[in-house]
Amino acid sequence: MALGTILVLYDGSEAADSMLSLACCTVWRAGRIIPLYVTCVPQSLPLSPLPDWYDDDGQAALDRAEEVAWERGCTADSWLVRARSRAEAAVAVAGDCEADAIYLPAWTWRHPWHRLYAAIEARRVAQQARCPVLVGTWMVPADAGRTLHNTRST
């Protein structure tokens, strides 16, 4: 199944890299891949007049996303957004970009509260989004970037 526009919630983790690779495999040739990094701003701070260094981690992650997409033969239209909630930001950007699907990486944190928070966040996105939402981790085969040769001897 090929999709025209895929939004990938991206944070620079291995799980996010694998979902971005999956997006590269499933997008149309003329389609768009949008890695989205959400800088979560606490309620105690305003959203707009923050120093530029506040987004440094996000910009570094999106630079990595563009490298991963380029390695897979795709181009990425990276977005960096400041918001109170990652789920609400993902749904809003998906609506603005008219995304055909949202890919959410399943984080593999060992702490049970982090896993619970990620599950709650994924549920919020799935309930509010107007497009299909894929949650998981896709493992990239080790030889995915190599040319396969026939090794059968005659």
91-116 in b/e form (b: 16+ CB < 10 A) is bebbeebebbbbbbbbbeeeeeeeee
Please, how many CA atoms are within 13 Å of residue 1, restricted to the half-sphere of its CB? 6
More confident residue, 18 or 35: 35
Inform me whether the pLDDT recorded for 148 exceeds 50: no
The reported pLDDT for the residue numbered 110 is 62
pTM of the model: 0.81
The reported pLDDT for the residue numbered 57 is 93
Instruction: Indicate the pairing of strand 79-83 with strand 101-105.
Output: unpaired
Inform me whether the pLDDT recorded for 98 exceeds 90: yes
Inform me whether the pLDDT recorded for 144 exceeds 80: no
